[in-house]
Structure formats: C-alpha cells, structure tokens
C-alpha cells in the first residue's frame, strides 16, 4: 500500500523541474541580404552570455532564465541589431531572426588593435581611431601613405626629394618608433618602412586602425610612438568593381591608377575569396625646370587575395597572399641611359611578397577560442644611389664599377593565442588573453663597389597576458604585460574605461614600449643620397630603448 508520504514525494519529483528549472532556449538565425552570416555574435548583456553563429547563420543560447531581455546581433562592418525577447513557461523556446545591414557611419566599428580581441570601438578601453575604405575613397588616396595623412595626430613625412621615401611620425617620434602591422602581424621590416607605405594600394585595404602610445605589450618591438594596423579586405558578398583615377600635378605630370576588386562568397557562406589588382604609373615632376625631379617616376603593379574557409561550425581558416612590384627613379630626368650615368639619381626596383594564415577554433560553448597564426614577408630590392664624381680618377672608378646594390629582407612571425571568457569573475565578466609568438627578421643590404654590407638577423620570443575585466556596467579595466626575450624586456599596460553617462566616456591609459637595436636605419639612406658612405655595426652590449606613455580622454 502506497503511503501518503510516498505520494507527496512522487508529486514533488514530478513538479520539481517546473518549479526549480525555470529556464528556456533561444534559437536565432542571422542573415544579410537573405544570406546566412557565419561568426556573427549574439549576446545578452544583462546575463553576460553570448554565442557565435555557425556557417548556416544559426546560434543557440541554452538555459536562459525566464525573464525579459535584450538580445543583440553584431558582425564586423554591419550595424548592431537588437530585439527584446521574453522567456516564460508559456514560451520557453524562442525562434528569432536578425537581418543585418552594412554600416553607413563608422562611429562605432568593431576593432581589434587595442586588445587583440574583437570589440566595438566605444567598448574598447584603449582609444582606437579608424580610417575606413570609404574615407580613403573620399579623400582620393592612392596608397596607405596618402591615406594616413588624413588621420588626426599622425604626420607622414617625405624625407627625400630624389626618391620620395616616406616615414610615419606618431607622438613626434621618427618612423622607426612606429609599428605598422598587416592584419595584426608585425611583418613590416625596417626596409619596408622606407617605401612600403607607398606600395600598399588603397583597394587592398578594408580599414586602418591606429593606436597611439606604447603598444609593445601586445605587438613587441618598435611600438613606442604607436601602432598602425592595416586590415586587408575580406569577402562579405559577391561584388565586382573597376575604377580608374587620374590626377595631374601642376598641369605637368599625370598620375594614372587602375584598380579592380572582385569578391566571391559561396551559397552556404562557408567560404569566400576577395581579389584585388592595382596598377599605377606616374611620371617625373620637375617644379623649377632644372631637369631634376622633385617627385620621382613610379611604375607599380600590385595583386593579391584574401580568403576564408569554415571547415566546421566552430572553426575558421583565413589565408592572404599579395605581391607588390614597384620601380621608381628620381634625380636627373634621364631615361635613355643607365642610372649611374645620370649626374645624380636614385633607382629602386622592389619585389615584395606578403602572406599570412590564421586558424581559429571556438570551444567551451564559445567562451573560449584558440588562434594559431603565421605571417611572412620577403623583399628583394635592386638599387642605385649615386652622384657622378668630379675628379677624373674617381669618375673612372665610378664608371668601371658603379655602386649598384641589392637588398634581401625576410620577416617571419608565428604564434598562438588563447582567449577565455569568464561570465562571472568577481563583480563582472572578464576576457583573458594569453599568447606567445616568435618574430624573425633578416636584413642583407650590400653595395659591392663601396665594400658595404649590412647583414643583420634578429630573433624575438614574446609572451603576453591580458585581462579585459568589465568590473561593472560602466567600468572596464584592461591590464596586461608582455615579456620579450630580446634583452629580456617587460612591457606592462593599464587602461581604464568609465562610462560617466549614456553618451560620455572617460579613458585613462598607461603603456610602455621598447625598440630593439637595429643596424638598418633611414640615416643610411640619407648618407648615400648625398654621395657619402656610412657603415653601422651593432655592439654586443647594446640595450633596447624604453618608453612610457600616458594618455587620457573625455568623449561626449
């Protein structure tokens, strides 16, 4: 016979899931122009929970407590979309759909340079300024160098009348103290820093992110004045574009540029490729009629691609490859004879290859992600810099053995990065980032006629740890440190973001940076251009240069 006590126990067991497991599930679908969006982020800020869409554009949020919430969908380059939802015993499972539209304003883009993780601009504790591809088009920039002139706080200098090499000044420091990244990777070598900004065409650039102040805690050597991160174009939708630009300098010199882009994305949105090609031809410009150029002749052809592939719903592979070919000649405007027969001239032929591969896997219900990456750059350069000597003996030697030179530069970067999100870390959520990387740079620059050779190889091992802690709804504390085995350098950083009111923010930051000794420098170029010969060698006991920077801002 069943007792009353047992009957009550059975009833309690039956109703306990209803009484104590008051949770439901959200099934969401994210699309853009009726196509599914992979790797879009769905989040409920009140609960500090999020999920990432699969290749089919779907995501699930499980075990969400009953209640009313705002769920937001976000994706790089698209407007935020939010919906208010209610989970209850009457509707414990919801199916919702988001339709994304491209951003028309760049006031709150998603950026990566400040924290090495994707964040909206207004949520980043570090100030990140963004220059979009649309802005580059609007200002009629031909290349990265011209585009950076329109970024506040940056100064692009033209430091040679003959060859017109440029350098970027940030916080008043020379070009060697600013680090230029390609898709977040430090593969811009010291040699590439002389001419590379003019060689990167605008139609390969998706956006440019700028962080001023020491950034060595994330990116290693040379990020003292600041960091410029060039993000190349990624496939989003099927598109084709062909443009031709013509500019004229003082009714004398034509500058012709042909640009073509094509993007293909598969129907399932699990793969895509973006292609670009750029051709530029600019003649000599002689401002004062002395037959010596103030602006050199340039012939540049660039071609490249960027592709992605989603092997599974939680994995992503990105690969990029590009080739930049440039010839430039400045000085006495003669093209019918070799450069060494000109009274004074500089001639450069660059062949630059750049490539990268990134693999990301999400796990732990998308609270964790592991990223492995490798990037590489190779520059082969033939160059001549010289002046016809006045003395007969020196002239004869010059004609018999003209000072032509060759440069061979290889830069390689590989590493691994782990991101882990803790939804309840003391008083709020925290995203921890742990990574280690290796940077190899080899520079060989030789001019046999001068018995001149620079053969410099550097190897740098770095490990970084970062905490991005949202202490409260209106306070975020970013802290981190990097250790580099390059004379064993420590680079700490600390940033605080405080949302004073709905539309105002206060940011305070401290960061340090370092610059490792290097033998190849712009001063060498200046010496050769003046007909002199300079040689630099690194002493065994050289120490790195170290900086500390403080910044603050109040934004309405």
Report, as an integer, the average pLDDT of 470-475: 89
Give 282 or 532, the one with higher predicted confidence.
282
pLDDT(443) > 90: no
pLDDT(516) > 60: yes
Report pLDDT digits (tens) over 17-55: 444 458 888 999 998 888 888 888 888 887 878 888 888
Q: How confident is the model at residue 14 (pLDDT cuts 50, 70, 90)?
A: very low
pLDDT(13) > 60: no
Give 375 or 447, the one with higher predicted confidence.
375
- Rounded CA-CA distance 106/118 in Å is 15
Give 415 or 89, the one with higher predicted confidence.
415
- Rounded CA-CA distance 415/58 in Å is 30
Distances in whole angstroms, Cα of residue 483 to Cα of each of 216, 258, 460, 497, 546 = 10, 45, 10, 25, 13
Report, as an integer, the average pLDDT of 191-215: 85
Q: How confident is the model at residue 536 (pLDDT cuts 50, 70, 90)?
A: low
* Strand 93-100 to 23-32 pairing: parallel
Please name each of the domains of the chain with its CATH number: 23-100 (2.60.40.1120), 110-555 (2.40.170.20)
Burial class (CB in 10 A: 0-12, 13-18, 19+), 484: buried
Min mean pLDDT across 285-289, 459-463, 490-494 is at: 490-494
Predicted local distance difference test score (pLDDT) of residue 359: 97
Predicted local distance difference test score (pLDDT) of residue 1: 47
Q: How confident is the model at residue 15 (pLDDT cuts 50, 70, 90)?
A: very low
pLDDT(16) > 60: no
Burial class (CB in 10 A: 0-12, 13-18, 19+), 135: middle
φ, ψ dihedrals at 269, nearest 5°: 60, 20
> What residues pair up with 420 in beta bridges, in sequence order?
368, 432
Report, as an integer, the average pLDDT of 463-473: 92
Predicted local distance difference test score (pLDDT) of residue 18: 45
Predicted local distance difference test score (pLDDT) of residue 38: 86
Min mean pLDDT across 18-27, 253-262, 508-517 is at: 18-27
pTM: 0.85
Give 393 or 193, the one with higher predicted confidence.
393
Q: And the tokens for 508? A: 């305070």
pLDDT(465) > 90: yes
Residue 516 and residue 544 in contact, taking contact as beta carbons nearer than 8 Å: yes
Helix (H, G, I), strand (E, B) or coil at 177: helix
Predicted local distance difference test score (pLDDT) of residue 527: 60
pLDDT(216) > 60: yes
Min mean pLDDT across 74-83, 411-420, 470-479 is at: 74-83
Predicted local distance difference test score (pLDDT) of residue 3: 61
Residue 495 and residue 506 in contact, taking contact as beta carbons nearer than 8 Å: no
> What residues pair up with 247 in beta bridges, in sequence order?
255
Give 305 or 427, the one with higher predicted confidence.
305
Give me the percent of the chain exceeding a pLDDT of 90: 39
Highest mean pLDDT: which of 3-17, 68-82, 252-266, 509-523? Answer: 252-266
pLDDT(381) > 50: yes
Min mean pLDDT across 323-327, 374-378, 394-398 is at: 394-398
pLDDT(414) > 90: yes
Q: How confident is the model at residue 255 (pLDDT cuts 50, 70, 90)?
A: very high
Report pLDDT digits (tens) over 293-348: 999 999 999 999 999 999 988 899 999 999 999 999 999 998 788 999 999 999 99
**Average pLDDT over the chain, rounded to whole?**
86
- Rounded CA-CA distance 321/318 in Å is 10
Q: Following DSSP, what letter does each residue of 239-294 receive, concatenated?
A: EEEEEEEEEEETTTEEEEEEEEEEEEE-TTSSEEEEEEEEEEEE--B-SSSSSB-S
Predicted local distance difference test score (pLDDT) of residue 456: 82
Predicted local distance difference test score (pLDDT) of residue 281: 96
pLDDT(12) > 50: no
Give the dihedral of Cα atoms 217, 233, 97, 35; nearest 10 deg: -150
Angle at 142 between CA 138 and CA 147, to 5 degrees: 65
Report pLDDT digits (tens) over 109-164: 788 888 888 888 888 888 888 888 888 888 888 899 888 888 878 888 888 888 88
* Strand 297-309 to 81-87 pairing: unpaired
Residue found by looking up tokens 């690194």 in the block: 538
φ, ψ dihedrals at 204, nearest 5°: -100, -5
pLDDT(371) > 80: yes
């Amino acid at each position: 016979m069943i007792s009353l006590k047992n009957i009550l126990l059975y009833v309690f067991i039956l109703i306990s899931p209803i009484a104590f497991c008051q949770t439901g599930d959200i099934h969401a679908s994210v699309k853009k122009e009726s196509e599914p969006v992979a790797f879009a982020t769905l989040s409920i800020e009140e609960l500090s929970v999020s999920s990432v869409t699969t290749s089919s554009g779907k995501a699930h949020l499980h075990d969400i407590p009953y209640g009313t919430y705002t769920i937001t969908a976000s994706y790089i380059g698209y407007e935020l979309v939010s919906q208010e939802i209610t989970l209850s015993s009457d509707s414990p499972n919801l199916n919702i759909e988001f339709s994304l539209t491209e951003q028309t304003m760049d006031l709150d883009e998603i950026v990566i340079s400040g924290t090495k993780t994707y964040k909206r601009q207004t949520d980043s504790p570090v100030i990140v300024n963004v220059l979009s591809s649309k802005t580059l088009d609007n200002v009629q920039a031909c290349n990265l160098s011209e585009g950076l002139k329109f970024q506040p706080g940056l100064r692009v200098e033209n430091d040679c009348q003959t060859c017109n090499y440029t350098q970027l000044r940030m916080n008043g420091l020379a070009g060697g103290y600013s680090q230029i990244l390609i898709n977040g990777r430090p593969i811009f070598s010291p040699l590439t820093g002389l001419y590379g900004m003019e060689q990167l065409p605008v139609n390969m650039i998706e956006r440019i992110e700028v962080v001023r102040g020491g950034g060595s805690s994330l990116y290693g050597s040379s990020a003292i004045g600041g960091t410029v991160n060039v993000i190349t174009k990624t496939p989003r939708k099927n598109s084709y574009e062909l443009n031709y630009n013509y500019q004229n300098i003082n009714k004398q010199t034509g500058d012709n540029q042909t640009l073509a882009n094509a993007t293909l994305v598969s129907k399932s949105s699990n793969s895509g490729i973006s292609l670009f090609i750029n051709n530029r031809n600019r003649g000599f410009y002689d401002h004062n009629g002395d037959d010596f150029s103030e602006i050199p002749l340039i012939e540049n052809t660039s071609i490249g691609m960027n592709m992605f592939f989603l092997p599974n719903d939680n994995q992503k592979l990105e690969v990029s490859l590009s080739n930049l070919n440039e010839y430039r000649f400045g000085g006495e405007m003669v093209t019918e004879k070799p450069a060494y027969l000109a009274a004074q001239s500089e001639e450069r032929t660059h062949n630059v290859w750049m490539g990268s591969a990134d693999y990301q896997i999400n796990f732990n219900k998308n609270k964790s992600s592991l990223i492995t990456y490798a990037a590489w750059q190779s520059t082969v350069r033939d160059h001549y810099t010289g002046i016809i000597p006045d003395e007969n003996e020196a002239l004869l030697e010059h004609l018999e053995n003209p000072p032509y030179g060759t440069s061979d530069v290889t830069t390689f970067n590989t590493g691994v990065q782990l991101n882990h999100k803790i939804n309840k870390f003391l008083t709020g959520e925290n995203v921890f980032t742990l990574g280690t990387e290796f940077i190899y740079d080899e520079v060989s620059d030789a001019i046999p006629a001068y018995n001149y050779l620079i053969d410099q190889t550097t190897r740098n091992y770095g490990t970084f740890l970062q905490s991005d802690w949202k202490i409260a709804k209106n306070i975020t504390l970013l802290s981190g440190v990097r250790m580099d085995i390059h004379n064993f350098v420590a680079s700490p950083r600390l940033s605080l973001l405080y949302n004073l009111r709905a539309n105002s923010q206060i940011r305070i930051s401290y960061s340090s940076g370092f610059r490792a000794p290097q033998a190849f420098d712009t001063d060498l170029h200046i010496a050769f251009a003046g007909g002199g010969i300079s040689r630099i060698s690194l002493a065994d006991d050289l120490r790195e240069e170290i900086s500390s920077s403080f910044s603050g801002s109040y934004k309405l």
